[in-house]
Amino acid sequence: MRNVLTVLMVVVGFALQAISYFALAAPWVTTGVASGEPRVVGAPVLFIAGVVLVFLAAVVYELLPEKRGR
Amino acid sequence: MSANAPGTPLPQGIGRITPGWLTIVGLAAVAVALGIYAYSLEASEGLVATGLRDLGTMGGATWGLYVTFVVYFGGVAFGGVTLAALIRLLRLDELRPIGRLGQLLTVVALLLAAIAILVDLGQPLRGLVNLFLYARPQSPFFGTFTIVLSGYLFASLVYLYLDGRRDAAICARTPSRLRWLYRLWAAGYGDSPGERARHRRASFWLAVAIVPLLVVATSTLGFVFGLQAGRPGWYSAVQAPAFVTLAGVSGVGLLIVLAAVVRRVAGSEDRLGLNVFRRLGGLLLGLVLVYLFLLATELFTATYTGEVVERRLTEALLWGEFAGIFWAALAFFLLSLALLLWQALTRRWSIPLLVVAGLLVNLAAIGKRYLIVVPSQTHGQLLPYPEGSYTPALGEFAVIAGLFGLGVLLIALFMKVFPIVELPEEEVPAGA
Amino acid sequence: MGITRRRFLQGSALAGAAAGAAAGQRLLFGELETVVAAHPALAVAPSVEDFVPTTCWIGKQDCGIIARRINGRVISLAGQPEHPLNLGALCPKGPAQITALYDPNRVKTPLIRTNAKGQSGTWRRASWKEAIDLVAARVKETRDKDPKLVLWQKGRSKAKSFYDDAFVNSLGATKLGHGTYCSDAGYRALEYTIGLTGVLHPDFRETRYLLSWGWNITNGGGNKFCWITWPRQMLEARERGMKIVQIDPRLRGAGPFADRWLPIRPGTDLALALAFSNVLVAEGYVDGEYLARYTNAATLVRNDGTLVRVDGVPQVWDAAADGPAPLETASQPALDGAYTVDGMPARPAFELYREQIASYTPEWAADVCGLAADEIRGVAIEFGRNARIGSTTVVDGVRVPYRPVGIAAYHMSQQELGFQAVRAMLMMTMLVGAPGAVGGQMADTSWKIDKNYTALDEVEVKDPPYGYTLKSSRYFPINSGFPGMVAKVMLDPRRYGVEKLPEVMITHYVNPLVSFLSRREFIESYAKFKFVADISPWLSETADYFADVVLPAATLEKYEGPSSANDQYTDAVALRVPAMAPLFESRGEIDIYLDLTEAVGVLYGEGGYLDELNKSLKLEPPHALPLDKKPTPREIFDHWALAQGIEQGVSHFETKGVYVKGPLKPAKRYGYVTDPPFGGALHRFYGESLLRYRNEMQAKGAEEVYWRDYTPFPTWRSLTMDASPAEYDLDLISYKLIEHKQSRTGFMPLLAELAPRQRLDINPRTARERGIADGDEVWVESQNAVTGETRRVRTRASYTEAIRPDTVGMPNHFGLWADPRARERGPSPNEIYYVGEGYMTNTADQSFLVKVRVSRA
Amino acid sequence: MPKYAMAVDLERCQGCRACVEACKVENNTSQGVFWMHVFRLEEGEYPETRISFLPRPCQHCDNAPCVKVCPVGARYKRIDGLVLTDYERCIGCRYCEVACPYGVNFFNWKQPAENYYMDWSDPDIQPASGGEVPPYRNPELDGRYGSEQKQVAGGGHFRGIVEKCTFCVQRIEKGLQPACVTVCPVQALVFGDLEDQESPVSTYLRGKQSFRLLEETGTEPRVHYIGGRTPGTDVREIEPVEGRVGA
């Protein structure tokens, strides 16, 4: 469960980063109005959220008590 | 986990307010107050209060001391956390005692860098909002703001937090007014072998994740300059590696200085032994050597290109307006190189000499950062604008002093709240 | 899991910040950061946009301007597209004068002085009635004694000077020009020689080869037009292949447009013109037909320099009849040879000229002018070859001689030998028959002969006592009324045989203390006026020190005109229409003069101001102004417009701004084909009357310095300033900047931003010899070779490779102090020039040259 | 969609800077701000001296470094070619300024209302100025332009953000020419739509040799220069403007 959650967070985090970076802000368009605007307002927040999620995974991994218990 | 008897002092002088500490904190607070005052003037009058002006017809530099220190603090942060991560990754156990110092330095330096960016913005409040709403990955600044200052700050905090759990748990054994904090921090950490192993695994992967992130982030800072084709002196492929190396130099240098201070004031002579400093010195020596090589490459390229503007810029650096800073920075590098080499060759390491070297490389790094930021603006115009000039205003110095004051204040406060040097293993009863 | 929750909370706080941004909008983007809604009122209030045609109020050609207004507030000034002079364009002063319109530092109400004169003034505000009554009383008092003792002077006539002339005439006062600081000597030289009021400019539509002689192409104007019109015509000519030779110690004025640069030594232009003429004559580039037919070059001259006359009619040698004859009847007037008439030897004037010019070789001039002889010869030959003597062309169906060479030289008369230098330049073009030819030498937009053509030939040199302008005196028989000389006369009237001095001075937008040369004389002479009234939108330095009363004039907010909008090819006339109501309590000048003449009691009736207005505007019944009713300026212009045959009257101008009459016919433009040719004036190649004045001046005991340049042909002599000690080793020249107009724009912030301060142009070689670095503060010290006086100013060195190493230059602006914004912009070079003998022409016009030394301050 | 561009004829320019003043008034720029600048240049040694002039509006680059580096997308390129600044977006980091090789960006160091040359608060001028600062304040600059309806014309000029030449977006959207083009006494500036073969700029450029400034930096400017050449490296600027804003 913990491992699953951690891995999930890492995966989702990176996915968020990737999506927000490559899709939402369209870096390959260098001219035109489009490049000035993120396709979704707040895409950068999503990106940061991705970064945060990835590192938060470590906290989750360490702090989440193991289901099996001791 | 057994509790200590009441009255047992917390380690490393935590919670004990000494006159020396008060003096330092007082001085730092004065510096901070000064910085706040200077900034409030700037906020009310506008950036006209600084020595910054537009490029071109206004004949100024639009980025100055603030950006210099954004880059510098960013570099220091990089040096600190990279070292901390490398300690984990490479199992440099000898250096473990300064791991936390490195992490702390990173957090503080990043905070200072972020503030330095904000004070440089014409619309800081908007900056806070718009960057989160509209930041564009196409801009090299995207990296600076998002990766460097948020991702990296968050990662360092996580790292600091997780690595500190064990010490928090130890401190929590002693009754004190801060016990709630230690308990909270420890979050039920019992230092069982399982927890230790888990922590080791987590921190290993954290370190694995952090180091490339940091290299990318710091090179990004280099790209802020290096990608500008229209700015002679900036457009260069060495810009990124040179940035990373100089970041390492300044970070390690500052860490040496901090470690020496901590060793004295926190009574950690035994934890922070000569061997720690020897290792750091060796590392610094290597970094300085690599950096000087890159610097030489950069200079040769600049002097050999036919580009008149590049050459004019190089002339301004070597014999013109900036020669003082340039040669001083170079002299500091060489002097610290000599100090380090002498110690390495004779194998007689001395902490005071290392501290001198650490200070010298930091001064030199600041000088070098300044020389990257300013001359390309004032002397690097491709159109025939008159030569520009930039003299930082007193207010700018005050704000920078305030930033340093804030840094000192934060570290000093941390020292009185938490063990700044990782507590030794043996203090933990095995299998508690 | 408190900690995780804590982290979560922090994360959501971050998201919350984004969401809360909308709520914080006001704080972040609102008033605190002054971003949106700074002008909410404007955003909602419906705005009314309209356009008012008016004219520029700084430059001299009164370019057509359209004032764009929003709700009656002028927000920008643009050019009128239909105005032939500026065709929708403006120079930097055009748009920038909008700050002048609203300038809070203008004189707001009439001011009456409360402290002693001769120092910076303190003032009290007065009503118009009080101020006008005060001025009127003082004018009346003096006028009752002798109207001539009321002196009136205007800086720059905006538009036609009808209302000021009417004012002076109705009072019987004395009018003092400013032209002696301008190009009056040049105007006189041309009026005397060919009868046109103007200085040299080319026929740009056809000219192929132009000597741009001291013409500041990119910063100055020409004698008729401001800066916009000439350069555009010049560029079009250049695009058609015209070549430009720039004759100027300084290249900057020519910009990139010079095909060849002759960096001449200042003050030696006469020598160069003579050497050019020498080559033209030697190489045979002489248009004998023009010279013989349309000039007095063929007229026979006796050994004493007088013309051979029969019954008062000058005679030429008719080679066909082999005897003397009047020019009109001679079928073959001879230009050379020696003849005997009535037993006395006589030779054609041209023969004498040929003899005299022979000594002015290029080699000789090379030494004097600091140029290479080859270069002089080369340019002269190119000029001669390009003149295509003998050719004709057809323009608008009319066959006209074609001489596509010309000279543009406006202020070349501002030197000690200015009158003769300009005459020599003109004569050089006369040699090739260029005046009045297609592509040839022009001076005015038509061939209307000025009254001075006759008047300057018939000056009577009188004995003292003289009037204070020294008109008809033994000192300056040809004389345009030189304010500097008036100042000198006021300081020592007996020296010049003057008995009565002016008592009341009315200065109209003129600032002698700064704009005229040699401040000391003006300060001392102004102290002698019993009363000084100033009419001006700003407090001038002169008013600051000496005015008793200042009357605030409006700038763009008044009716004024009519101004010629003729660009030499299209005839048009324009009027200034107020762009808005006058600011503060200022008023248009016509209003002021109407009130003033009414208060003096000379407004109504015959010979009154209204009558004089009718005369100067040529208003005749039914369009004449009634002599018993005070009109408004608008009514005056309505009468005038109707008299011009403009049916809608003044309202035509209120909607259109300009009235275009149509293209100028070749028969008006080209002297050869006017009827009669050249307006009927015989061109004075030989200046017999100049010699006569010389003799009379000598006979009446004038010193040599006064009569030596009255020679029938231009004659070179060494310059007075060259007698300065050797350490004064540099020539100082001054020049105009496009951003400024004399002393009246230094305080206009938009213009001052572009041209902020005084500087000394100096060749780097010269500067380095003196240890002066670029930007160093320097002293520029001049020396008067006659009196030994020295004067100096402090300014900043400015390196330029575009100036002769033995010459330094300063822009002819700055030096203001009355307006706080104009201080700290450095001195005016006018402060170190001299007025008086040796530093003016034989026609009493100011020389703008002096020897200086430059040292680090 | 039009493709706006400007042609500058260096064989005609006389360096009078009328364009500079027309721009300043039309766009209400404050002291020391030159959206349009005209270099006056000198090179060579006496007597082989050469004088030249070089007008420098914003180059409205197709590959604009300022657009690329803007961290928040405040600087953007419109489809018609204009490079504009969103006054409500800019955070004032001045990255565009250091990235631009042409020096066309101006930061509002001061509160613009305090930087309009004179103290316009004089009560006597209020009836004429209507309280506007400067009194010639152009209300059109407050408008929103383009399909994206952004505030880009510079109304009010806000402290702490960067601004530059807009090709007078408020004028061209009304079908007028930029103020600098209209005022030029010698028609050295030509503006129009490159897509339209009959536009002034297309006809002017046709068959003429032209170059663009600092093409080697890859910025792809929209301003084409005719005659003359890129300023050499030994040119000296003469007669600089008073560009520095005091504290």
Helix (H, G, I), strand (E, B) or coil at C734: strand
The pair of structure tokens assigned to C579 is: 């762009």
Q: How many helices (H) and strands (E) does chain C have?
A: 29, 33
Residue C335: CB atoms within 10 Å: 22
DSSP summary character for residue D114: G
What confidence score (pLDDT) does residue D210 get?
94
**Looking at the predicted structure, is the pLDDT value of residue C541 above 90?**
yes
What confidence score (pLDDT) does residue A67 get?
57
CA Rg, chain A, in Å? 16
A42 contact residues in D (CB cutoff 8 A): none
- In chain C, what percentage of residues exceed pLDDT 70? 94
* Residues in contact with B319: Cβ distance below 8 Å, sequence separation at least 6, in sequence order: none
Of C400, C407, C397, which Cα lies nearest the Cα of C438? C400
Of C510, C569, C568, which Cα lies nearest the Cα of C543? C510
Residue D45: CB atoms within 10 Å: 11
What confidence score (pLDDT) does residue C7 get?
42
Contact predicate C408/C201, CB 8 Å: yes
Between CA D241 and CA D233 the distance in angstroms is 20
Is there a domain that residue D243 lies in? no
The pair of structure tokens assigned to C213 is: 């002689």
Partner residue facing A38 (CB), from B134, B202, B209: B134
Residue B242: band (very low, low, confident or very high) from pLDDT cuts 50, 70, 90: confident
Size of interface B-C (CB pairs under 8 A): 23
Condensed to tens digits (0 to 9), the pLDDT of residues C655-673 reads 999 999 999 998 899 999 9
Is there a domain that residue D247 lies in? no
What confidence score (pLDDT) does residue C6 get?
41
Q: CATH no. for residue C809?
A: 2.40.40.20
Of B432, B431, B419, which Cα lies nearest the Cα of B165? B419
Condensed to tens digits (0 to 9), the pLDDT of residues B29-45 reads 999 999 999 999 998 88
Residue C41: band (very low, low, confident or very high) from pLDDT cuts 50, 70, 90: very low
Better pLDDT: B131 or C111? C111
Between CA C347 and CA C302 the distance in angstroms is 7
Of D219, D181, D12, D213, which Cα lies nearest the Cα of D99? D219
CATH class of the domain comprising B18-425? mainly alpha
Condensed to tens digits (0 to 9), the pLDDT of residues C777-799 reads 999 999 999 999 999 999 999 99
For all residues of chain B together, what is the average pLDDT?
85
Residue C13: band (very low, low, confident or very high) from pLDDT cuts 50, 70, 90: very low
**C629/C493 same-domain check:** no
The pair of structure tokens assigned to C593 is: 């003069």
Q: Is A49 on the interface with B (CB under 8 A)?
A: no
Hey, CA dihedral for B135, B140, B145, B147, is it positive or negative? positive
Partner residue facing C29 (CB), from D17, D88, D142: D88
Strand partners, C581: none
Better pLDDT: B88 or B23? B23
Burial class (CB in 10 A: 0-12, 13-18, 19+), C177: middle
Residue A23: CB atoms within 10 Å: 12
Long-range contact pairs involving B408-411 (C-beta distance under 8 Å, separation at least 24):
B408/B24, B408/B25, B408/B27, B408/B28, B408/B31, B409/B25, B409/B28, B409/B29, B409/B32, B410/B108, B410/B111, B411/B104, B411/B105, B411/B108, B411/B258
B133 contact residues in C (CB cutoff 8 A): 18, 21
Condensed to tens digits (0 to 9), the pLDDT of residues C232-270 reads 999 999 999 999 999 999 999 999 999 999 999 999 999
Residue C536: band (very low, low, confident or very high) from pLDDT cuts 50, 70, 90: very high
**Overall number of domains in chain C:** 5
The pair of structure tokens assigned to C847 is: 């020389």
Between CA C7 and CA A56 the distance in angstroms is 9
Domain of residue D36: give its range: 4-238
The pair of structure tokens assigned to B187 is: 């979050």
Condensed to tens digits (0 to 9), the pLDDT of residues D170-217 reads 999 999 999 999 999 999 999 999 999 999 999 999 989 999 999 988
Strand partners, B191: none
* Residues B129, C33: C-beta atoms closer than 8 Å: no
What confidence score (pLDDT) does residue C18 get?
45
Of A55, A57, A56, which Cα lies nearest the Cα of A4? A57
Q: What is the largest CA-CA distance in chain D?
A: 57
The pair of structure tokens assigned to C759 is: 């500087």
**C727/C748 same-domain check:** yes
Q: Both ends of chain A: CA-CA distance in Å?
A: 16
How is C25-94 classified by DSSP, letter by letter?
HHHHHSGGGT-TTSSHHHHHS---EEEEEEE-SSSSS--EEEEEEETTEEEEEEE-TT-TTTTT---THH
The minimum CA-CA distance between A21 and chain C, rounded to whole Å, is: 18
Is there a domain that residue D161 lies in? yes
Which whole number is the average pLDDT over B292-303? 82
Q: Is D3 on the interface with A (CB under 8 A)?
A: no
| Interface with C, mutate which of B58, B129, B149 (most C CBs under 10 A) | B129
CA angle B370, B261, B368 (to 5 degrees): 10
**Overall number of domains in chain D:** 1
Contact predicate B137/B417, CB 8 Å: no
* pLDDT tens-place values along chain A, 70 residues long: 788 888 898 899 888 888 877 666 555 555 444 455 666 677 778 888 888 888 888 888 888 776 554 4
Condensed to tens digits (0 to 9), the pLDDT of residues C369-394 reads 999 999 999 999 999 999 999 999 99
Residues in C 2-41 with any Cβ partner in B closer than 8 A: 2-3, 14, 17-18, 21, 24, 27-29, 32-33
Hey, what amino acid is at A29?
Answer: V
Hey, what amino acid is at C370?
Answer: G
| Interface with D, mutate which of A24, A28, A29, A31 (most D CBs under 10 A) | A31
Condensed to tens digits (0 to 9), the pLDDT of residues D217-226 reads 889 999 999 9
DSSP summary character for residue D117: S
The pair of structure tokens assigned to C619 is: 């208003």
What confidence score (pLDDT) does residue C26 get?
41
**Looking at the predicted structure, is the pLDDT value of residue C674 above 60?**
yes
**Looking at the predicted structure, is the pLDDT value of residue C365 above 80?**
yes
What confidence score (pLDDT) does residue C606 get?
94
Long-range contact pairs involving B69-72 (C-beta distance under 8 Å, separation at least 24):
B69/B112, B69/B113, B69/B116, B69/B366, B69/B369, B69/B400, B69/B403, B70/B113, B70/B116, B70/B117, B70/B120, B70/B144, B71/B221, B71/B243, B71/B369, B71/B372, B71/B373, B72/B250, B72/B365, B72/B366, B72/B369
Between CA C206 and CA C210 the distance in angstroms is 11
* Residues in contact with B236: Cβ distance below 8 Å, sequence separation at least 6, in sequence order: B226, B298, B301
Residue C37: band (very low, low, confident or very high) from pLDDT cuts 50, 70, 90: very low
- Residue ranges of alpha helices (H) inside D199-239 are 200-205
State the DSSP H helix or E strand holding residue C507, giving kind and residue range, or none if neither. Answer: strand C504-508
Contact predicate C525/C541, CB 8 Å: no
What confidence score (pLDDT) does residue C88 get?
93
State the DSSP H helix or E strand holding residue C245, giving kind and residue range, or none if neither. Answer: strand C243-247
What confidence score (pLDDT) does residue C331 get?
93
Which whole number is the average pLDDT over B158-162? 89
Contact predicate C780/C118, CB 8 Å: no
Hey, what amino acid is at B233?
Answer: G
Task: Look up the ipTM and state it.
Answer: 0.91
- Cis ω for the linkage preceding D47 (within 30 of 0): yes
Is there a domain that residue C356 lies in? yes
Q: CATH no. for residue D182?
A: 3.30.70.20
The per-residue b/e assignment along C645-676, b for 16 or more CB within 10 angstroms, e otherwise, is ebeebbebbbebbbbbeeebebbbbbbbbbee
Kind of pairing between the strands at D189-193 and D162-163: unpaired
Subunits close to C (at least 3 CB pairs below 8 A)? A, B, D
Residue at a domain's end among C511, C535, C552: C552
Residue C523: band (very low, low, confident or very high) from pLDDT cuts 50, 70, 90: very high
Subunits close to D (at least 3 CB pairs below 8 A)? A, B, C
Q: CATH no. for residue C66?
A: 3.30.200
Better pLDDT: C36 or C659? C659
DSSP summary character for residue B427: G
Burial class (CB in 10 A: 0-12, 13-18, 19+), B40: exposed
Better pLDDT: C220 or C332? C332
* Residues C78, D44: C-beta atoms closer than 8 Å: no
State the DSSP H helix or E strand holding residue B193, giving kind and residue range, or none if neither. Answer: helix B193-226
pTM of the model: 0.92
Partner residue facing D138 (CB), from C75, C88, C798: C75
Hey, CA dihedral for C594, C597, C601, C602, is it positive or negative? negative
Which whole number is the average pLDDT over C513-517? 92
Condensed to tens digits (0 to 9), the pLDDT of residues C443-494 reads 998 899 999 999 999 999 999 999 999 999 999 999 989 999 999 999 999 9
Domains of chain B: which residue ranges? 18-425
Residues in D 79-138 with any Cβ partner in A closer than 8 A: 79, 86
Hey, CA dihedral for C812, C813, C818, C824, is it positive or negative? negative
Between CA C457 and CA C449 the distance in angstroms is 14
**C374/C504 same-domain check:** no
Residue B6: band (very low, low, confident or very high) from pLDDT cuts 50, 70, 90: low
Q: Which residue of D has its CA nearest to B385?
A: D237
The pair of structure tokens assigned to B392 is: 């930082």
Is there a domain that residue C652 lies in? yes
What confidence score (pLDDT) does residue B5 get?
63
Measured between alpha carbons, how far is residue A58 from residues A54, A70, B155, B191, B245 in Å?
8, 21, 10, 17, 28
The pair of structure tokens assigned to D241 is: 């403007």
Q: How many helices (H) and strands (E) does chain B have?
A: 15, 0
Hey, what amino acid is at D169?
Answer: V
Partner residue facing D51 (CB), from C251, C751, C752: C251
B381 contact residues in D (CB cutoff 8 A): 103
Domain of residue C91: give its range: 51-102+557-662
Residue B1: band (very low, low, confident or very high) from pLDDT cuts 50, 70, 90: very low
State the DSSP H helix or E strand holding residue C99, giving kind and residue range, or none if neither. Answer: helix C98-102
The lowest-confidence range among B140-149, C516-525, C813-822 is B140-149
What confidence score (pLDDT) does residue A63 get?
83
- In chain C, what percentage of residues exceed pLDDT 90? 85
* Residues A63, C1: C-beta atoms closer than 8 Å: yes
For residue B290, report the phi and psi dihedrals to the nearest 5 degrees: -60, -45
D157 contact residues in B (CB cutoff 8 A): none
Q: Is D24 on the interface with A (CB under 8 A)?
A: no
What confidence score (pLDDT) does residue C527 get?
95
The pair of structure tokens assigned to C196 is: 């046109």
CA angle B196, B198, B201 (to 5 degrees): 110
Condensed to tens digits (0 to 9), the pLDDT of residues C676-709 reads 999 999 999 999 999 999 999 999 999 999 999 9
**Looking at the predicted structure, is the pLDDT value of residue B314 above 90?**
no
Measured between alpha carbons, how far is residue A42 from residues A38, A39, A49, A56, D72 in Å?
8, 9, 11, 21, 11
The minimum CA-CA distance between A12 and chain B, rounded to whole Å, is: 15
